[in-house]
Amino acid sequence: MDDKRSSDEVQSPRSKRTPTGTPGDAARQRVLADLVSVRRMSKREAERWCDAWERCAAERGLGVEDPFFWDAGRGWIDAQLIEAPSELTRRVARHLEAVRAARERARPGSRKHRNLLQQEGRLASRLKTLEDLGDDVTLLGVPGPSEDGATVTSTGRGG
């Protein structure tokens, strides 16, 4: 008997958690497809997030046989992908400055100028909302996946 593992087992430890061909595997595949299409992440990154959920759930004693296991998993993954409010505010402010600079370079009255003006208004409104909220929005701070197996919080810092 050959003791070598298949390439699928080497790439993803989930083969020991969610057996292939089960309803849980079908639900996992739906979550993977959704993460790839909606969140626009690579299949590999989506696999890592699903693996992280399985590890987190196992630590809490949750089993893949639960019919809502992957519904909870998708919610957990989404919660981990929330950006820290202060980082989001800085990113929107930087984008707003870039749009303002582009608008100033555009020919006044042109379609590009009008589009940039509308985009500037939307970004300014979002920035005001974020600034009004401040740090009232809190994160779960639950570890997510990483390449090397170390945990990464939703703010991107290792744990």
pLDDT one-digit tens code per residue, 45-97: 999 999 999 998 888 888 888 888 999 999 888 888 876 667 778 888 888 99
Q: How many Cα atoms sit within 13 Å of 86 on the Cβ side? A: 3
> Tens digit of pLDDT for each residue in 120-149?
998 898 888 878 776 554 433 334 454 444
- pTM, two decimals, is 0.47
Q: Would you place residue 117 in the very low, low, confident or very high pLDDT band (cuts 50, 70, 90)?
A: very high
Query: Is the separation of the CB atoms in 74 and 34 below 8 Å?
Result: yes
Q: In angstroms, rounded to a whole number, what is the distance separating the alpha carbons of residues 101 and 123?
A: 13
Tokens encoding 155: 């703010």
Residue with token string 């990113």 = 91
Both ends of the chain: CA-CA distance in Å? 40
Sequence letter at residue 36: V
Phi, psi of 121 (to 5 degrees): -65, -45
Nearest to 94 by CA among 117, 123, 116: 123
Q: Regarding predicted confidence, which is higher, 31 or 21?
A: 31
